[in-house]
Amino acid sequence: MNPFRTHRIGVVALLVFTGTLAVAGLLACSGQDTNGSAQPSTTVTVTAPTGLRWQSFQGVDLPVADQGPERIDGPVASGFDRSPVGAALAAIHSTVRMSIATDSQWPAVGQRMLAEGPGRDSWATARAQVSITAPIASGAPKVAGYVIAHYTLADAAVDIYSIHPDNSITRNNAHVLWQGGDWRLHLPEDATSPPVTTAAVLPADIVAFTPR
C-alpha cells in the first residue's frame, strides 16, 4: 500500500472519525435547516463544478470552482454555495484539510470548517496527540470526483473518490451540514464503520473532475 495512503487513512481513522453515518441511515433522515424546520430532500444532480481550477494544500491538489470556496485564509477554505456542488466541494476541502493540516494549522481548520459537536471535540483531543509538521513530499493522491448520495438544504452525504500513484482507488464517506452560513463537516462521536474504504473502479455516476 502506498505509504501516504497508509499515513492518511491512519490519521483519518484515528483522528477524524469521518465515516459519519452509513448512507442508508442518511437516506432515511430528513434534514433540518438553521431554524429547525424540516427540509425536503431535493433531487440529487450530477452537475459538475464550473470554472474548475486547482490549488495545492500541503502537497494535495484541491478543486476550486465558481461554487466555492470563495475565500482561502491560510489553511481554512470557506464560502461554498448552498447547492449539491457546493456541498461536495466543501466536503472535499474539509476532509483533506483536517487530515493533513500541520500542528499550527489544525485548530483553525477545526474551528471554522467542522460542525460543532462531540465529534469535533473528540477529533481535537485525538489530533493534539499527533504531530504533522510538513506537507506531503511525494505520493499524494488525486481527487478524482464525487457522488452525492443525499442532499437537502441542511445536509448532504458525499462519497469522495481519490486515485493513488499505484492506481488504486479509495472512497471517503463525508457528511456536511449547513451551519453558520456555510457547509461544515460533521464528525460523529462514535463511528460505526471506517470512513475510508477501497473501491475496485470509479462509479459510473461519478461527477469526475477534469484531469490536471
pLDDT at position 18 is 33
pLDDT over 50 (residue 6): no
86 contacts 64 by C-beta, under 8 angstroms: no
Q: Which residues contact 203 (CB under 8 A, 6 or more apart)?
A: 147, 159, 161
23 three-state secondary structure: helix
C-beta separation of 191 from 8 below 8 A? no
Specify the pLDDT at position 193: 66
* Buried/exposed code over 187-196 (b: 16+ C-beta within 10 A; e: otherwise): bbeebeeebb
| Banded pLDDT at 86 (limits 50, 70, 90) | very high
Q: Name the pTM for this structure.
A: 0.81
pLDDT band at 190 (very low <50, low <70, confident <90, very high): confident
Domain span at residue 162? 3-42+50-208
What is the number of H-type helices and E-type strands within the chain?
A: 5, 12
Mean pLDDT, to the nearest integer, of 74-100?
Answer: 97
How many separate domains does the chain show? 1
Contact 172, 99 (CB under 8 A): no
Share the mean pLDDT of the chain: 82
Q: Report phi then psi at 161, rounded to 5.
A: -110, 135
Is residue 140 pLDDT above 70, yes or no? yes
3 state SS of 182: strand
**DSSP letter at 68?**
B
Question: Tens digits of per-residue pLDDT, 17-56?
Answer: 333 222 222 222 223 333 333 344 445 567 899 999 999 9
Contact between 151 and 176 under an 8 Å Cβ cutoff? The reply is no
Read off the amino acid at residue 71.
R
CA distances from 124 to 107, 110, 145, 175 (A): 8, 7, 28, 18
Percent of the chain with pLDDT over 70: 77
